[in-house]
Structure 1
Amino acid sequence: MSRPASVAAATAALVWNNVLLPRTGLGPYGRAAAGGALGLSAVGAARAAGYDIDELGLSVSKLRSGLRHGAAASVVPMAGYAIALSIPALRARVPAGDGATGFAGWVGFRIPVGTVIHEELVFRSVLSAMFHRSWAAATADVLHATTFGLWHVRAARIAGDGVVPSVLLTGASAWLFEWLRRRSGSVVAPALLHLSVNVGGAVAAVVARARTVD
C-alpha cells in the first residue's frame, strides 16, 4: 500500500466522521450502526487489499494477550472515576450530562458500537496497518495520532469544547491506544481501554447527576 493511499484513507475517514455521517439525517442509534458497519467494511476492504489478520490486530492467537493488556489498562480510568465520585470537590467537576440520553442504549449500543467498534477498527486496525506498512514507525504513529485528533473536531464543536485542546487530547490518547495495540498484538486491548473510559464516564455522569440532585 503506497503512502499516498494511506493518506487518502485517513482523509476519507475524516470526511466521513466530520462531514458525511452527520449529514445522513440518521438519529444517534442510526449513526452508531452506520459507524460500526463502516468499521467492519474497512476491515473487509483491507483484507481484500492483502492485509493479513495479524497486521490488522485481529488474530485469535493474540486474543488472550489483548484481553490481559486491555483489562490491566482499564483499571486506571475506572479507579480514577471511583476516586473522583468519592470526593465531593472532585465529583462536582464530573460532567453530569443533560440526562436526556437513554442510559441503557447509550452504554449498551452507542458507545460499544458507534464509538469503540467504529473507531478501533478504523484506527487501531486498518489505518494503523496502512501507516505502519507505508511509513517508518515514528512517522506512522504521528500520522495515526494526528488523524485521530482531527477525527474529533466536530464532536468538540458540538460539545462546546475548545477544538485545539480536544484535538491535542484525543491525539495524545491515540498514542496510548496504539501502544497497547502494538504491545498486545491485538485491537482488543485498546478497545477494552476505550470502552472503560467511555462507559465509565457515562456511569460517572449519571452518578454525579444523581448525587447533585440529592
Structure 2
Amino acid sequence: MIHLIAAIAILAAVQVWGDRLGDTWYVPLCAATAAVLLLIARWDGLSRADLGLGAASARRGLRWGLVLAGAVLAVYLVGLALPFTREAFLDERAAGLTAGELTFRVLVRVPLGTVLLEEVAFRGVLWAMVERRRGSTWATAVSSVLFGLWHVQPARGLTRANAAAEAIFGTGPTGVAVSVAAAVVGTALVGVLFCELRRRSGSLIPPVALHCALNSAGYALAWAVAHG
C-alpha cells in the first residue's frame, strides 16, 4: 500500500506545484514524474507487462491505436462540418497560438508531456497497482476517479476559453463551479474508457493513441477554425 500512496502523493505534489515552474518546465516535469512513477512500480514488483508496456501486447495495441486515432479524426471532421457542433471548436487556448507554438503543442507538449504522464500514471502504474490488489473493476474505478480529480485545475478556466462551454454554463461563479464538476465527471468517464482499452488490449498503446488524437487533433482543428 505504501507504493500506491507514494505514487498518489507525487501526482498531488506535481498538480499543486507544477504550475509554478512555468511552461518551459512542463514537458521535462511530466517526463521526470512518469519516470519516478515507473520506478515506484518496479519497487512494487510490477513487470513491464503488468504496466501495459510488454512487447507481447504491443502489436495488438498498435492495431487498436491506429483504428482509434482514425475514428477520432473522422468524428472531429464531421463535427467541424456541421454548423451546430462547430462552435465547440472555438477555443481561445488554441486560437492564440502561433503556427510554431501549435506545432510544439501538437507534436511535443501533448504526446511527450500530457499524454505520457497521464497514461503512465493512471492507466499504467495506478491501474496496475490497484488491479493486483483488488482486481480490474476496482483498478478502473480508482484510476478514473483520480483522473477526473486531476482535471479540476485546468477545468476552472474552461468557460473563459471555450465558446460552447461559455454558452452552456456562463461565466459566473455558479456556472464555473458546475462546469468544473461536469468536466471532472466527464473526464472520469473518459478514464473508464481508457482503462477498458488498456485492460482489453493488455497495452498502454490504445489509450495513448486515443488520448493523443483527442488532444492534438482537437488543438489543430480549433486553431484551423480560428485562423481559417
The two structures have a TM-score, normalised by structure 2, of 0.83
Cα offset, 1:121, TM superposition: 0.7
Structure 2 unmatched ranges of 5 or more: 160-175
2:85 is aligned with 1:86: no
Whole-Å separation in 2 of the counterparts to 1:156 and 1:173: 15
Letter in 2 for 1:181: R
Q: Which moved more, 1:163-172 or 1:80-89?
A: 80-89
Question: Who is 1:22 aligned against?
Answer: 19
Indicate conservation of the 8 Å contact 2:145/2:188, yes or no.
yes
Alignment of 1:1-214 (within 5 A): 2=1, 5-6=3-4, 8-9=5-6, 11-23=8-20, 26-98=21-93, 99-101=95-97, 102-160=101-159, 162-211=179-228
Indicate conservation of the 8 Å contact 1:9/1:127, yes or no.
no
Q: Which moved more, 1:102-111 or 1:81-90?
A: 81-90
Indicate conservation of the 8 Å contact 1:77/1:196, yes or no.
yes
1:2-43 superposed Cα distances (whole Å, 9 cap, x missing partner): 3x653x2464155134312123xx222311220122112211
Cα offset, 1:163, TM superposition: 1.5
1:149-200 superposed Cα distances (whole Å, 9 cap, x missing partner): 0010111113345221011011000111111111111111110010000011
- Distance change >3 Å, CA 17–CA 159, structure 1 → 2: farther
Cα offset, 1:88, TM superposition: 3.1
Letter in 1 for 2:225: A
Q: Which moved more, 1:94-103 or 1:202-211?
A: 94-103
Indicate conservation of the 8 Å contact 2:7/2:37, yes or no.
no
Whole-Å separation in 1 of the counterparts to 2:225 and 2:131: 41
Indicate conservation of the 8 Å contact 1:96/1:208, yes or no.
no
Indicate conservation of the 8 Å contact 1:70/1:180, yes or no.
no
Whole-Å separation in 1 of the counterparts to 2:91 and 2:183: 19
SS of the residue 1:202 aligns to: helix
Identity of aligned residues (%): 33
How many positions carry a matched residue from both structures? 206
Indicate conservation of the 8 Å contact 1:125/1:187, yes or no.
yes
Structure 1 unmatched ranges of 5 or more: none
Indicate conservation of the 8 Å contact 2:7/2:40, yes or no.
no
Letter in 2 for 1:200: A
The two structures have a TM-score, normalised by structure 1, of 0.88
Letter in 1 for 2:141: V
Structure possessing the higher relative contact order (Cα contacts under 8 Å, 6 or more residues apart):
1
Whole-Å separation in 2 of the counterparts to 1:92 and 1:158: 17
